[in-house]
Amino acid sequence: MVRKVMKQYFKDLDGEKPCGIYSMVVNCVEKPMLEVVMNHAQGNQTRAAELLGINRNTLRKKLQEHGIE
């Protein structure tokens, strides 16, 4: 799916120069991923951090950045 969307993104640019692609993709993917993982972990941040393979404090920071409670 990512490959398909990225190919379409470059087509849609229609000759315009792309920039900040990494940040754009991470911002588009990170919030829904965190929401799904938090839901799966039933709101348990420790479990969600384990599932994601990140530190709990990092998870808390990312949740705050995205306005996820």
Structure tokens at 51: 């599932």
What pTM was estimated for this model as a whole? 0.80
Residues 6 or more apart in contact with residue 41 via CB below 8 angstroms: 47, 48, 51
Model confidence over 16-69: pLDDT tens digits?
999 999 999 998 899 999 999 999 999 999 999 999 999 999 999 999 999 998
Neighbours of 62 (CB within 10 A): 17
